[in-house]
Homo-oligomer: A and B are copies of this chain.
Amino acid sequence: MSELLTTNRKEQLLEVAAKLFKQRGYAATSMRDLAADLGIEAASLYHHIKSKEEILETICFDLASKFSNVIAEVNDIYFNAEEKLRTAIKNHVQIITQNTNQSTVFLHEWRNLSEPKLSEFMKLRDAYEKGIRVILKDGMNEDVFDDVDEKFASLTILSTVNWINEWYKPNGKMSTEEIAQKLSDFILGGLRKKMVTDINYKP
């Protein structure tokens, strides 16, 4: 049982840390703050982790690997480009809404990593963005998407799906699926009113 308890306690520690890092920021959260929230002394934290930065690393890289997994999966299983993009967006939204605290850390606090972890992390981010770009390229090849600057478009899409983290509250009225669909519609359809004579229209 000891093994299990350790794991649980450490997971709890990481959870609380993510919560505080989101609330106050990494640098502004002290080990004493963290310990107090867990009901223990600051020194006791070091039975579970090696350093403060190790906590940040764990949170950032855990989420990075989740993102890596889903983008690989989407690009592996073949759909048409639009379905691919919709699935990627749905997965992305799911990760963010199911890991609200960790997402904030992943999106904002990673800057506090120091080398070499910092570079390693940025590489993972870039790889994910490239995954999105592949979908866009596919879509343009298949003539389903308009011709756009890939880099520009991928960044804009990421901005849109990442911004959820800024306002999403777990008990809000919109479900993950609803959010994902609205975002997909927005990204794919735009805002301007048009006669729907969409070439690849599906009901």
Contacts and interface: CB of A to CB of B under 8 A. Distances in A.
A193 B158 CA distance: 20
A159 B166 contact: yes
A190 B191 contact: yes
A171 interface: no
Contact of A145 (B24, B108, B187, B193): B193
Interface residues of A, number: 44
Contacts of A146: 189, 191-193
A79 interface: no
Contact of A197 (B167, B190, B195): B195
Contact of A148 (B144, B188, B191): B191
A119 to B, nearest CB: 16
A46 interface: no
Interface in A183-203: 183, 186-200
| Chain copies in complex | 2
A197 B197 CA distance: 8
A189 to B, nearest CB: 4
Contact of A200 (B186, B193, B199): B193
Interface of A: 24-28, 82, 108, 111-112, 139, 143-146, 148-149, 152-153, 155-156, 158-160, 162-163, 166-167, 182-183, 186-200
28 contacts: A25-B25, A25-B27, A25-B111, A27-B27, A82-B192, A108-B108, A144-B192, A144-B193, A152-B182, A155-B163, A156-B183, A158-B163, A159-B162, A160-B163, A162-B163, A163-B163, A186-B190, A187-B190, A188-B190, A189-B191, A190-B191, A190-B192, A192-B200, A193-B198, A193-B200, A194-B197, A194-B199, A195-B199
